[in-house]
Structure 1
């Protein structure tokens, strides 16, 4: 496998879009919690069916990657579970619209926007929508593939996944009854030819599916290496997924990124480091997608058991980001935002010498913004009260004193950033 991270004098660094798409799938997978790898399975199912339909390679690849991110509008576990309750889930259009808006605003991913918008639209209605024929085909195939995975979950319940093969004829019968209405009838017949084969189900392994993403023929849409500016755009897309998970963390990632960039500039980080710290700030909480909603939104104090789940989010952030940024400073800076100079932080109990300045900046930005924001267990603090708590953390050698001094010297600007309404 080629290196994902490449340094260049003109752009700083670049990453491979295929690996970025796998990161999105992993991030979205965290939302499901009890239904892991749904995006992977939909991608695989759509890919295999598109091949069976004889579609061009470019269209087949597009189906695969669209399948990986098809649920990018879903950020809460409860919403994800509702999509698994019935063949035609109520309110599915809401997450389709959110996904469309997020993708449309991300230039690198905008080509997926229409397909995601209509991936729960019944075929009998989809044919009348004002999108291209190829987009209709892919949206229809994603809907069918998504519902095949719904039926898979329905029939196997808590049994071993291999036992889905005992129910494959029932799954085929279910989708055939909806041919011409919910689903395109030609696609239904192609899909039934797949799902009646045990090998189709037995090959639905996560490692195999991820290897497919890296084995397709060259395509400039996916083989392009993203510049730092484009990666910032993609990181913003991820941040919006994270921040939408809870009303109490709305726009937190964006504001931490803005604060980190502001403080980094004031503390004379290089332009490249400023760009990198902004990306790290955007993705620093991606691991919280795996934290159960009821813990993130709990109104009272957390139990020791619940706090373990909270502490894990930094490791989940690191594991997810390492898919795209192996051994990268961005990954390290993001993952270290809860480490403390005295070694009392988490997850690795690092001490001052092991915590780089950008990580210290993100830590201060994270604490300040969180204190200035409503949380389920308290209302937003005034800047005065927030600073009292943070000065105590500096005194106890938890937060960096120089970063704190920079924040205090620019407190009006920092308050404005921490409480601003992001675009």
Structure 2
């Protein structure tokens, strides 16, 4: 059991970057490539190391305001567009309220502000310099994505010519000069390949290690950053995560679990579906049954949840409880096929809360099942060994409280 709230802020930014990566579906590691290129350019430019660390972290998560796969397509396929600032503003709001990351907020806010923009005069010069460097390397990576079927060593000339042409309009000429010098080597471009990049990023996170003991409210605030990223994907994911979170905590309390477990259960409920960021919008919002291929896409989400959350050591237990919510007592669940004794009660609680809230909630393709419908589904899933019968009995004994926790509304009783 993890009793410490010790979090390395570099690992936390890396986990957020992993989460945002999923939105790209097939274009992965965007934040990591931008962070590598920005840091290399900053070193060549002579930016002091303390600011290099902030630049690296902000670059890793600069697109934390992007939750829609459609928005991500525009980021990759278009060099600029009128609505590009919207995701910057969402990212700013995400980071500003979390004190350890508040200093990253302005860098994220301005990372699509052009050098020639009148807004530049309103931004502190140091902040604008770093933001514009993220903007530059972000657009370099958009061009890299457009050449993903080509050898980068062959494509780089075209990319560099395009970037040089934007010097003085999109980008600070001095930064463009530093970038062109930094990117002259083949090693720079080869590091962008996945297997080399992952090693480089991990080494940099270790170099900038910054471990802090967070308070319980700060740990919850960190969890809410992840939750809001996935919740922005659709209104229904937001309502679902919050309801599962509240009901998970309640069931933990009703089960007599320690206060720390109940706190972490609330976080597990918030984050159990973070892996759904990888699900295309059209599949997640489909107003009807999923076909076999679409369900295969959905089945990935719990494994992606596991991989993201285990990056943060304070979330070790949360990662397990959240990612096991589609496991089954019979061993027929997914993605790990865990059996009865291998599934802790906390994970069983999240599984029950997930089903309860999903059936109680109005969805795009159906209305709420209502109390009777929820009871029927819980009974059926218990009978086939998917849900824990002891927990279902506890739900039944406290049904009205569970309904209110899951929906945020009191149950309307009929006479």
Measured against aligned partners, the alpha-carbon deviations of 1:359-389 in whole angstroms (never above 9, x if no partner) come to 1111111111111223343222222322221
Please tell me whether residue 331 in structure 1 is matched to residue 319 in structure 2.
Answer: yes
Measured against aligned partners, the alpha-carbon deviations of 1:1-47 in whole angstroms (never above 9, x if no partner) come to xxxx9x55xxx442322111111111111110121110000001110
| Structure 2: tracts of 5 or more residues without a match | 410-415
Paired with 1:131 and 1:312, the residues of 2 have a C-alpha distance of 42
Residue in 1 that maps onto 2:197? 206
Q: Is the 8 A contact 1:100 1:116 kept in 2?
A: yes
Measured against aligned partners, the alpha-carbon deviations of 1:113-146 in whole angstroms (never above 9, x if no partner) come to 1111111111222654544332211111111110
RMSD of aligned residue pairs (Cα, Å): 2.2
Residue in 2 that maps onto 1:380? 368
Paired with 2:243 and 2:118, the residues of 1 have a C-alpha distance of 38
Residue aligned with 1:224, SS:
strand
Please tell me whether residue 64 in structure 1 is matched to residue 64 in structure 2.
Answer: no
**Mean Cα displacement is larger for which, 327-336 or 314-323?**
327-336
Measured against aligned partners, the alpha-carbon deviations of 1:243-267 in whole angstroms (never above 9, x if no partner) come to 2223432232222111111111121
Residue in 1 that maps onto 2:412? none
What TM-score results when the alignment is normalised by the length of structure 2? 0.91
Residue in 2 that maps onto 1:349? 337
Paired with 1:209 and 1:299, the residues of 2 have a C-alpha distance of 42
Paired with 1:326 and 1:158, the residues of 2 have a C-alpha distance of 39
Residue in 2 that maps onto 1:275? 263
1:38-77 equivalence runs, <5 A: 38-77=30-69
Paired with 1:209 and 1:280, the residues of 2 have a C-alpha distance of 30
Cα gap change, 1:307/1:88 in structure 2, threshold over 3 Å: closer, same or farther? same
Residue aligned with 1:74, SS:
coil
Match of 1:311 among 277, 287, 299: 299
Residue in 2 that maps onto 1:87? 79
**Cα distance, 1:324 vs structure 2:** 2.3
Q: Is the 8 A contact 2:6 2:211 kept in 1?
A: no
Residue aligned with 1:147, SS:
helix
Q: Is the 8 A contact 1:172 1:196 kept in 2?
A: no
Paired with 1:47 and 1:23, the residues of 2 have a C-alpha distance of 19
Residue in 2 that maps onto 1:215? 206
What TM-score results when the alignment is normalised by the length of structure 1? 0.90
Residue in 1 that maps onto 2:70? 78
Paired with 1:271 and 1:311, the residues of 2 have a C-alpha distance of 32
Paired with 1:380 and 1:212, the residues of 2 have a C-alpha distance of 49
Paired with 1:142 and 1:239, the residues of 2 have a C-alpha distance of 24
Q: Is the 8 A contact 2:94 2:225 kept in 1?
A: yes
| Structure 1: tracts of 5 or more residues without a match | none
Paired with 1:248 and 1:50, the residues of 2 have a C-alpha distance of 41
Measured against aligned partners, the alpha-carbon deviations of 1:292-338 in whole angstroms (never above 9, x if no partner) come to 32221222211222212211211121122222249932221111111
Paired with 1:212 and 1:176, the residues of 2 have a C-alpha distance of 30
Paired with 1:87 and 1:196, the residues of 2 have a C-alpha distance of 22
Q: Is the 8 A contact 1:16 1:226 kept in 2?
A: no
Residue in 2 that maps onto 1:115? 107
Residue in 1 that maps onto 2:404? 416
**Cα distance, 1:395 vs structure 2:** 3.2
Paired with 2:293 and 2:162, the residues of 1 have a C-alpha distance of 42
Residue in 1 that maps onto 2:222? 234
Match of 2:172 among 184, 194, 207: 184
Please tell me whether residue 97 in structure 1 is matched to residue 89 in structure 2.
Answer: yes
Residue aligned with 1:301, SS:
coil
Please tell me whether residue 172 in structure 1 is matched to residue 164 in structure 2.
Answer: no
**Cα distance, 1:215 vs structure 2:** 3.5
Paired with 2:13 and 2:118, the residues of 1 have a C-alpha distance of 26
Please tell me whether residue 256 in structure 1 is matched to residue 248 in structure 2.
Answer: no
**Cα distance, 1:166 vs structure 2:** 2.0
Paired with 2:373 and 2:269, the residues of 1 have a C-alpha distance of 24
Cα gap change, 1:401/1:81 in structure 2, threshold over 3 Å: closer, same or farther? same
Cα gap change, 1:316/1:183 in structure 2, threshold over 3 Å: closer, same or farther? same
Aligned length: 406
Measured against aligned partners, the alpha-carbon deviations of 1:208-242 in whole angstroms (never above 9, x if no partner) come to 33223333256xxx332444442221111101111
Paired with 2:352 and 2:256, the residues of 1 have a C-alpha distance of 16
Residue in 2 that maps onto 1:320? 308
